[in-house]
């Protein structure tokens, strides 16, 4: 099965899911190109390798190289859910000592925030605002608006990712889209709601994305001021 790649961001962390075969040639080049793009915006990466069916020596060498590169950029590359075959290969070559490996994405992401900035963690262990929006464009808009006004902001595009950030970054306030505010029925959604309800919660209106940018920005800041949340 050819290699397929999927990437998303959970706060400051890029999560890349690898499915198929990571072998010398087009597959390795595709992963290298994606990691090169990601590292332009930050050096904290989780590689979810649980669905890798096969990896050759060149593919493993690629992981070694980017593991070193992220550390040189004061970041880390965490492996998530390595298959028994990959885990055995890492152990046989003693490369398991070079990588940080975790059983789940939540553990791999959380470990970044538990690590101090001087040891390869994000520059800030906490953020005053957690913003959960499905639209990456809206995430960028809200992050920039609030960041320019001095707020530390973490963003997520779904409830499971937001739950991870809610547990590890200790925000003062949660901003939630009207669509995601209606999410119910899963363990992640119910746990997220229990934790979020203990904090000031801003639910954005359904038409937020279509509002005038100045009006939308003023709405965000007014909500934070009403809750007494300072930058």
Q: Where are the domains of the chain?
A: 4-119, 129-226
Q: What is the pLDDT of residue 33?
A: 98
**Distance separating alpha carbons of residues 177 and 172, to the nearest angstrom:** 17
Q: What is the pLDDT of residue 77?
A: 97
Beta strand extents in 36-115 (DSSP E only): 44-55, 76-80, 100-102
**Distance separating alpha carbons of residues 110 and 70, to the nearest angstrom:** 17
Residues of the chain with pLDDT under 50: 118, 125
Instruction: Give this prediction's pTM.
Output: 0.85
Q: What is the pLDDT of residue 121?
A: 58
Q: What is the pLDDT of residue 58?
A: 95
Strands 100-102 and 153-156 turn out to be: unpaired
Q: What is the pLDDT of residue 122?
A: 59
Residue 74 phi/psi, 5-degree rounding, is 60, 35
Q: Which CATH class is domain 4-119?
A: alpha beta
- Bridge partners, 16 (sequence order): 7, 47
Q: What is the pLDDT of residue 229?
A: 80
Q: What is the pLDDT of residue 115?
A: 72
**Distance separating alpha carbons of residues 229 and 11, to the nearest angstrom:** 20
Residue 190 CB partners (closer than 8 Å, separation 6+): 184
Residue 203 phi/psi, 5-degree rounding, is -100, 115
Classify residue 5 by burial, with Cβ atoms within 10 Å: 0-12, 13-18, 19+: middle
Q: What is the pLDDT of residue 9?
A: 93
Strands 153-156 and 129-132 turn out to be: parallel
Instruction: Identify the CATH number of the domain defined by range 129-226.
Output: 3.40.50.2300
């Amino acid at each position: 099965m050819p290699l397929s790649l999927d990437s998303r961001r959970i706060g400051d962390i890029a999560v890349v899911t690898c499915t198929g075969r990571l072998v010398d040639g087009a597959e390795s080049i595709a992963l290298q190109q994606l990691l090169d793009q990601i590292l332009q915006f930050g050096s904290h990466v989780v590689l979810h390798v649980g669905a890798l069916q096969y990896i050759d020596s060149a593919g493993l060498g690629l992981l070694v190289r980017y593991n070193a590169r992220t550390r040189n950029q004061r970041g880390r590359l965490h492996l998530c859910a390595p298959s028994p075959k990959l885990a055995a290969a890492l152990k046989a070559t003693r490369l398991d000592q070079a990588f940080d490996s975790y059983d789940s994405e939540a553990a791999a992401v959380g470990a970044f925030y538990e690590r101090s900035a001087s040891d390869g963690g994000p520059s800030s262990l906490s953020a005053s605002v957690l913003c959960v929006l499905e639209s990456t464009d809206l995430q960028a808009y809200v992050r920039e608006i609030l960041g320019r006004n001095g707020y530390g902001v973490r963003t997520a595009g779904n409830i499971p990712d937001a739950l991870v950030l809610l547990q590890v970054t200790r925000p003062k306030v949660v901003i939630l889209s009207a669509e995601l505010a209606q999410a119910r029925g899963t363990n992640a959604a119910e746990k997220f709601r229990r934790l979020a309800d203990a904090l000031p919660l801003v639910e954005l209106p359904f038409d937020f994305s279509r509002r005038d940018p100045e009006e939308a920005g003023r709405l965000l800041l007014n909500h934070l001021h009403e809750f007494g949340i300072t930058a």
